[in-house]
Amino acid sequence: MTRIAVDAMGGDYAPGEIVKGAVWAAHDYNVPIELVGKTDEIQKVLNEISRKGIRSNRGGYFIKKFKVDLSKLDIKITQADEVIEMGEAPGTAIRKKRKSSIVLAVDAVAKGSSDAVVAAGSTGAAMASSLFGLGRLPGIERPAIAVTLPTMDEPVILIDAGANSSCTSEMLFQFATMGSTFVKNVYNRKDPKIGILNIGEEEEKGNQLVKDVHKLLKENNIGLHFIGNVEGKELFQGNVDVVVCDGFVGNVALKTIEGSSMMLFKLIKQEFKSDIISMIVGLLAKPFMKRIYKRVNYEEFGGALLLGVKGITVISHGRSSSYAIRNAVRVAKEAVESGVNKKIAELIN
């Protein structure tokens, strides 16, 4: 059965929210868990869960509280003496801290005691340890981050969301292949539509990189369903399944989306606190706003996938709550069970 290794020490709210999220996933999806980190700190959280249960938050809103019988769940702890902090240079950090939680969580997959990693700490460290600990899939030039974004319809995959700040057209072509295979096998979408993130729809638009990728994707003979260029605003209309871009553009896009959505929700909160009437209307409107927040909240998607390595690494948001981690474990489990890596390797070669 698929076991998921979770870096218990990574993330702004580690180890508390991380351990709770992992236990929650074990409870909801019956998935075995390997918690990697400082045993005493992890045990403390587990004891708290035994006593109090899990208080379930979703998108900052309290949902429910439920009891968990840990003896019925398959949870093991792997000791890690060190932790890689957010500011550390990833390459140096993973070489120096061989006993850090993220390096050992990846090792668990490399050695076969787990099948996938979930990590909410330093993205750079998660990428570097996955790349060095698991290696690239045969034929893959560079791994890339595939992030799931909400749209008016089905979610869209943006790849690369930040693994490679400089890319060649061949790399972007491979990202398209990986993204398409992922959506097909994990999200069960037939014939996923692939677009290039560009500043106009016309073939001749954009910089040299996207023009070259356009040519490669147009001429592809491996059955990718290429629909041409898509603009930033089309990302959200639900008429494309996979959008490729270099990691610089993808990361900027991802963070501006996050920033502008956060601003809107903050403005709404402000507006509903301006006087007594607004507060009453705000209270009435709250359940509706909650539902909208749930639809666009990144926590629902649990995390981004690092595609192109020999193994599954799910990179979660630094601010992940237990709910986000629970979903990230589900995504990891689904990715393992779909055999997405084998299919990527087949398509590339």
Which span sits near a copy of itself by CB under 8 A: 3-11, 19-27, 145-153, 300-308? 145-153
- Kindly state whether residue 152 participates in binding a copy of itself, applying the rule CB under 8 A: yes
- Binding span for a copy of itself by CB under 8 A among 75-83, 241-249, 309-317, 318-326: 241-249
DSSP 82: B
Site for a copy of itself in 291-310 (CB under 8 A): 291-292, 295-296
Q: What gap in Å lies between CA 158 and CA 149, rounded to an integer?
A: 7
Give the integer Cα–Cα distance in Å for 199 and 182.
25
Q: Does 215 bind a copy of itself (CB under 8 A)?
A: no
Position 116 contacts a copy of itself (CB under 8 A):
no
Binder among 61, 203, 236, 345 for a copy of itself (CB under 8 A)? 236
Structure tokens at 79: 């000791």
CA 73 to each of CA 2, 30, 211: distance values in angstroms, whole numbers, following the listed order = 14, 7, 52
Determine whether 52 is exposed, middle or buried from the number of CB atoms within 10 Å of its CB (0-12, 13-18, 19+): exposed
- H-helix or E-strand spanning residue 312: strand 312-315
Q: How far apart are CA 290 and CA 62, in angstroms?
A: 11
Work out how close the CB of 204 gets to a copy of itself at its nearest, in angstroms, rounded to a whole number: 8
Q: In the range 264-283, which residues lie near a copy of itself by CB under 8 A?
A: 264, 266-268, 271-272, 278, 281-282
Window of 8-16, 39-47, 126-134, 246-254 that interacts with a copy of itself by CB under 8 A: 246-254
DSSP string, 106-172: HHHHHHTS-SEEEE-S-HHHHHHHHHHHH-BPTT-SS-EEEEEE--SSS-EEEE-SSS-SS--HHHH
Q: Does 165 bind a copy of itself (CB under 8 A)?
A: yes
Out of 136, 205, 225, 343, point to the residue binding a copy of itself (CB under 8 A).
205
User: Does the protein bind a copy of itself through residue 30 (CB under 8 A)?
Assistant: no
Q: Does 86 bind a copy of itself (CB under 8 A)?
A: no
Please identify which residue in 13, 132, 187, 248 interacts with a copy of itself, judged by CB under 8 A.
Answer: 248
Which string of DSSP letters, residue by residue, matches 204-260? T-S-HHHHHHHHHHHT--S--EEEEEE-GGGGGTT--SEEE--HHHHHHHHHHHHHH
Quote the tokens at residue 120. Answer: 């909410």
- Binding part of the chain for a copy of itself, among 32-40, 188-196, 261-269, 312-320 by CB under 8 A, reads 261-269
Q: Is 328 in the site for a copy of itself (CB under 8 A)?
A: no
Report the residue number, 48 or 258, with the smaller CB distance to a copy of itself.
258
From the list 58-66, 105-113, 197-205, 329-337, the region that binds a copy of itself by CB under 8 A is 197-205
DSSP 26-42: HHHH---EEEEE-HHHH
> Beta strand pairing status for 4-7 and 33-37?
parallel
C-beta closer to a copy of itself: residue 10 or 250 = 250
H/E element holding 65? Answer: strand 61-66
Number of other CB atoms surrounding residue 256 within 10 Å: 11
Residue number, 70 or 264, with CB nearest to a copy of itself: 264
- Of the pair 95, 295, the CB lying nearest a copy of itself is at 295
- Which residues are at the interface with a copy of itself (CB under 8 A)? 150-152, 162, 165-166, 197-199, 205-208, 210, 231-237, 245, 247-249, 251-264, 266-268, 271-272, 278, 281-282, 284-285, 288-289, 291-292, 295-296
